[in-house]
Amino acid sequence: MSRITLLILALLVTSQVAGQSLFVVFDSGPAPEPVQVATIGGVRCFPALALNRVFGASVSDDLPDRRLRVTLYGEQFIFLIDSPYVNHGSNRFNCTWPVRRQGDRYYLPLTFLTQILPLALPDKIRYDVDARELHAALPMDNTISTIYIDPGHGGKDPGALGYTRGVFEKDVVLSVALMLKERLERELDGVKVVLTRDDDTFIPLNARSRMANEGGGDLFISLHCNAHRDRSCNGVEVYFLSTAKTTDERAVEALENSVVYKYEGGAEALQRYDDLSFILMDMAQTEQLHESSELAYKLLANMVSTTSMNNRGVRQANLYVLRVSYMPAVLVELGFISNRSEEKRLLDAEMQQNLVEALAEGIKSFKYKYDQVR
């Protein structure tokens, strides 16, 4: 037998599926679930996506940062690709062996199931060495079942002023929000859609996101119209929470956050919001930032393709209304109400329906993918 043949056989042996499964036994309810165990390079591993199937976990990679993020039971674990270490909150665990990748599939060391999870989540998971079984609490239902739509401004806060006297941002976004709610409820069976306001009412920024948190929201989408002193500015853009980097991003951040100073108590109110700045640092460590970015890109792509409006891109800003939204959250700028032609389009019923269609399809696409990988 040639050396090449022997080498091929050796590779097949070291990468073979071990023909064994580790069974996850739930405390009550579902039947035990098997997790297929493979041996790769002499290390016992299992497919990362098995966590999705068995526990309803989300699994996503961040290739630029060489990280693999896993969230189960509401807890996030961050694997450093090509490293044996996994971070959970302020703790770092050593899995002994690194994450493996074959094609587009990731494999995690079996020690993550049998050793790390019982240490990190002792009230949820324990490993029975004798029976070779993992005993686990029932998985959480992480599907998107409640969506919050936030029509910006309202009441004493008119929002951006239109090119035409008497045209206000608060009225345009409320009209779009009402239609979007009706469409989503019609097309997404079993999904609850809630508006933060359904009439001309003023609601403080932090109360909007708090409403979504306390109401069990799974998505938060804040609708706005843009404005600029340069009346030629036009187009759509979508923001997610982060630090504003460009002049335009800082301008929108200042515009949307100015509500606090004007209508919620001046400098004292601003200080209360700024005291929450640590939340931004916390969210940057969670999957919400990544998922908010994904949602933003889907919504923007749909709006541009449906309306042919100018694509101003997905942007980042430290927006107060998004700060305490513990779910994927974005702020959508539907167009420039300060631009004469764009104001006319934003007031047009057919154009509003096109925007609603674009947003609804983007939300549905995100939900289907989100639910599938959780």
How far is residue 334's CA from residue 356's CA, in Å, rounded to a whole number? Answer: 10
For domain 146-372, is the CATH number 3.40.50.1400? no
Please write the tens of the pLDDT for every residue from 328-365. 999 999 999 999 999 999 999 999 999 999 999 999 99
Please write the tens of the pLDDT for every residue from 166-181. 999 999 999 999 999 9
Of 320, 307, 304, 140, give the one whose Cα is nearest residue 220. 320
How far is residue 222's CA from residue 196's CA, in Å, rounded to a whole number? Answer: 9
Q: Where are the beta strands (DSSP E) in the chain?
A: 17-26, 33-40, 43-47, 58-62, 67-72, 75-80, 85-88, 91-94, 100-102, 105-109, 125-128, 133-136, 146-151, 192-195, 219-226, 236-241, 311-317, 329-336
Range scoring the smallest mean pLDDT among 98-112, 150-164, 189-203, 221-235:
98-112
pLDDT the model gives residue 62: 76
The structure's pTM equals: 0.66
Buried b (16+ CB within 10 A) or exposed e, 20-38: ebbbbebeeeeeebebebb
For domain 3-136, is the CATH number 3.40.50.460? no
For the CA atoms of the chain, what is the radius of gyration? 24
Other beta carbons within 10 Å of 104: 6
Name the residue ranges covered by the structural domains of the chain: 3-136, 146-372
In the numeric block, the tokens 């700060």 are attached to: 323
Whether 139 contacts 27, CB under 8 Å:
no
Q: Which residues pair with 134 in a beta bridge?
A: 24, 127
Q: Are strands 133-136 and 17-26 parallel, antiparallel or unpaired?
A: parallel
Q: What percent of the chain has pLDDT over 70?
A: 80
